[in-house]
Structure 1
């Protein structure tokens, strides 16, 4: 049986930092070079909440000036009225929105981005209205959709 030469062994030990499977070159991104990177559900949810809050903060700057808005995956426990989509703490001037109940328990007519966005926006508006002690229709009459 022939022994491999020393030069060949040295060549095997020097490996590049990337993987070249079967001489095809390095692997490409899943989305390709011309598409933006994929966004996760939590990033999409945060963007929708931020967009709705941006609109409300411009409409009610004095009332929402020092308000803190948080996003959490799940509420700590289910209440008597079921699983909450948001929690309002007036003493701390804070609203916490819960991502999973809004995404999973929202009653959508169609399974598309428009209905998902409407469900999230309506919960954001209801949370702000509860903090301010107003009706959601008064807070954002052109955007509120009661789902």
Structure 2
């Protein structure tokens, strides 16, 4: 018995999928998440120039939203290592620790969506990201935020 050829999926006008609407060299082609990553990297690079020795080995990460353990909602506690606005975490410091015989470096996690929601525009978001990163570095190093970044 002969099989029919597999049908290809096309839109109803027969054009199929189209290419990108914006060339990859234009800033508009980058996603909001990629643009946010760039803001965090800019803030971190500036601080690493001044605090190179103290920040050696510190990992910086971006997550879309804070992780919540839904299996025990009564157990959700915001520790001193969490920067929050109201009850919404904006960033978190995870100190270096040893677990299962493996060394884990200190880590600063910045949450993208809560910060984007609080910013009026891109410039406001850049300022907010910088303030949050400076605050978390200050917590990690046990210093005042004004000492970490006098311009803040």
Structure-2-length-normalised TM-score: 0.66
Give CA-to-partner distance per residue, 1:18-66, whole Å, 9 cap, x none: x9x78x9x95641269845611110001000001000111110111011
Shift in CA distance, 33/83, structure 1 to aligned 2, threshold 3 Å: closer
Paired with 1:52 and 1:70, the residues of 2 have a C-alpha distance of 12
Q: CA RMSD in A?
A: 2.8
1:82 to 77, 83, 87: 87
Gaps of 5+ in 1: 1-18
Gaps of 5+ in 2: 1-10, 69-75, 79-85, 98-105
1:134 to 143, 146, 150: 143
3-state SS, counterpart of residue 51 of structure 1: helix
The match for 1:59 is 50
The match for 2:81 is none
The match for 1:123 is 132
Shift in CA distance, 36/52, structure 1 to aligned 2, threshold 3 Å: closer
1:99 to 112, 126, 136: 112
Paired with 1:45 and 1:140, the residues of 2 have a C-alpha distance of 20
Alignment check: 8 A CA contact 2:23 2:29 kept: no
Paired with 1:53 and 1:103, the residues of 2 have a C-alpha distance of 18
Q: Which structure shows the higher strand fraction?
A: 2
Give CA-to-partner distance per residue, 1:92-143, whole Å, 9 cap, x none: 4111111111111x2x4xx32211111111111111111011111110111x
Paired with 1:124 and 1:54, the residues of 2 have a C-alpha distance of 11
Larger radius of gyration: 1
Structure-1-length-normalised TM-score: 0.68
How many residue pairs get aligned? The number is 120
| Larger RCO, structure (CA 8 Å, separation 6 or more) | 2
Worse-matched range after superposition: 48-57 or 76-85: 76-85
